[in-house]
Amino acid sequence: MKILLIEDEKKVAAFIKKGLEEEFFTVDVAFDGKEGFNLAGVEAYDVIISDIMLPLLDGIQLTHALREKKITTPILLLNVKDTVKDKVAGLDAGADDYLTKPFAFEELLARVRALARRSEGNLSSLLGIADLQLDQKSHKVIRGEKEILLTQKEYSILELLLLNKNSIVSRTRLIENIYDYRFDTGSNVIEVYINKLRTKIEIDGAPQLIHTIRGSGYMIKDLSV
């Protein structure tokens, strides 16, 4: 899943980004509200995390502006203030959740996962198709009774395919899901990762689950479809 983090304190941003990437999220970082607003308008994110005290455009103004632009991505606001008034202001602006600094990273992670599941309409942490199962909490991937070890990017691609099972996912969307907005979309890196995924999950004669849709992208689909 892909996260937009808007945080002007670079040490805090680096800490959050590192922690989320270790949990298999892809993270873009903006250091002011205007940059965050621009990125949110051109990139597809699963969750936006924004500090309230930002230069150029604060978190409340940013949230208002995003909602006025009909961007419905879940927003988690961060703030050092924990008064009811501040929380209400954030939620009334259109935010989905509010977390007070300082916070335990485990709580931030739990809130991000909850918002991501809510945006996908999936309240369970388990994703699956046929005899393949992916647990978004433990990051375990199992086919049949065999656990499959994936790299971070392999896992991210499989997760996105499973979130959109029986539907085509374009290679551009796959690239955007695992790299930041500066990555060269002309690269064949997705084809390389898809081949590695197939090698790992389609072993011992197991039926093919990941299909190439020529000119469109990739699809993971039920055996009966």
pLDDT at residue 116, rounded to an integer: 82
On whether the CB atoms of residues 38 and 61 are closer than 8 A, the answer is no
On whether the CB atoms of residues 60 and 93 are closer than 8 A, the answer is yes
Give the number of C-alpha atoms closer than 13 A to the C-alpha of residue 88, restricted to the C-beta side.
3
* Cα 48-10-63 angle, rounded to 5 deg: 25
pLDDT at residue 86, rounded to an integer: 80
* Other Cβ atoms within 10 Å of 9 Cβ, number: 14
Q: Is 2 helix (H, G, I), strand (E, B) or coil?
A: strand
Distance CA 139, CA 66 (A): 31
Average pLDDT, the chain: 86
pLDDT at residue 145, rounded to an integer: 85
pLDDT at residue 183, rounded to an integer: 61
pLDDT at residue 40, rounded to an integer: 93
Contacts of 205 (CB under 8 A, 6+ apart): none
- CATH class belonging to 2-119: alpha beta
- Domain 126-220 fold is Arc Repressor Mutant, subunit A (1.10.10)
pLDDT at residue 26, rounded to an integer: 86
| Structural domain boundaries in the chain | 2-119, 126-220
Tens of pLDDT, residues 84-140: 888 888 888 899 999 888 888 888 988 898 888 776 655 557 888 989 999 877 788
Q: pLDDT per position in the chain (225 positions), as tens?
A: 789 999 999 999 999 999 998 888 889 999 999 999 999 998 889 899 999 999 999 999 999 999 999 998 999 999 887 778 888 888 888 999 998 888 888 889 888 988 887 766 555 578 889 899 998 777 889 998 899 999 888 988 898 898 888 888 888 878 877 776 566 656 788 899 999 999 999 887 788 899 999 888 999 988 765
